[in-house]
Amino acid sequence: MIVHHWFNTCKRGVFKPARRYMSSKMAVVWTFLVSGIIHEWILTVLLMSKNKYTCDNGTPMLQCITRNIHLNQTKFFTWHGIVVGLESVLFKMKYVKQFREKSPAWVLTLLIWLLMFPCAHWYFDDYIESGFFHHGQLGIPTLILE
């Protein structure tokens, strides 16, 4: 199937070559960085999030795109790659292991919310600006309260 071919391409194209040149932790960060670059391309070029206003007045397409890349997606995914790399180091420590075993799941969930979500607008702002959710609302039953 085409899908299977694509899976193998990505495995061979992203994680395995990275593993050849660096440690597995760095390969994880690299894989996150590649995710960031792919999202950057999807949101800047396909969903046209940043350049929807500046492209109206006849400026060439390529110029609007390059002018409006702010690398937010790359920032977001690099941050998450670093956090995942740090976790793999921290979770081997004795006290961290004990803390994770003793504390209930909701405490750990709250703690990772504090790590993940304060900078998640780097990821979601592009979706909101590009009208992804606004357009998606057309296909969903909506309540209108006046």
Write out the two tokens for 69: 């890349």
Whether residue 119 contacts residue 79, with contact meaning beta carbons closer than 8 Å, is answered with yes
Q: Of the two residues 55 and 87, which places its CB atom closer to other proteins in the complex? A: 87
Q: Of the two residues 55 and 116, which places its CB atom closer to other proteins in the complex? A: 116
Count interface residues toward other proteins (CB under 8 A).
44
In angstroms, the CA 38 to CA 31 distance is 11
In angstroms, the CA 85 to CA 32 distance is 10
Draw the binding track, 13-32, toward other proteins (x: CB under 8 A; -: no contact).
Answer: -xxx--------------x-
In angstroms, the CA 116 to CA 83 distance is 9
Q: Which stretch binds other proteins (CB under 8 A): 42-50, 52-60, 64-72, 133-141?
A: 133-141
Q: How many residues does the chain have?
A: 146
Whether residue 62 contacts residue 13, with contact meaning beta carbons closer than 8 Å, is answered with no
In angstroms, the CA 72 to CA 120 distance is 10
Span 76-115, contacts to other proteins by CB under 8 A: 80, 83-84, 87-88, 91, 100, 105, 108-109, 112-115
Residue 35 sits in the site that holds other proteins (CB under 8 A): yes
Applying CB under 8 A, the residues found at the interface with other proteins are 3, 6-7, 10-11, 14-16, 31, 34-35, 80, 83-84, 87-88, 91, 100, 105, 108-109, 112-121, 124, 127-128, 133-134, 136-137, 140-145
